[in-house]
Structure 1
Amino acid sequence: TYLWFDEKGKKTRVAAPQYIDYVMTFTQRTVSDETIFPTKY
């Protein structure tokens, strides 16, 4: 099992497939955030 910390800081033990889903969702949300990666000048 893996540990995942949600946005509120809550620690959760999850299986590998769920962990990968969380990582991919977090990554997509972060990359799509205009305040972090602006696409306009």
Structure 2
Amino acid sequence: MIVLCCKLIRVFFVILKKGVKYNGNKMLRDIKRPEIRNAA
């Protein structure tokens, strides 16, 4: 949860500072999710 908040803060900072257009798909694609491993 903290990682997501830090990511959002960085995104908003860049948007405000550089005037970059927000791309939600890119933001979600950059988040690394741990893979769930099934125990057999």
Please state which structure has a larger fraction of its residues in helix: 2
Please state which structure has a larger fraction of its residues in strand: 1
The normalised TM-score by structure 2 is 0.44
Q: Which has the higher contact order (CA 8 A, sep 6+)?
A: 1
Q: Which has the larger radius of gyration?
A: 2
The normalised TM-score by structure 1 is 0.43
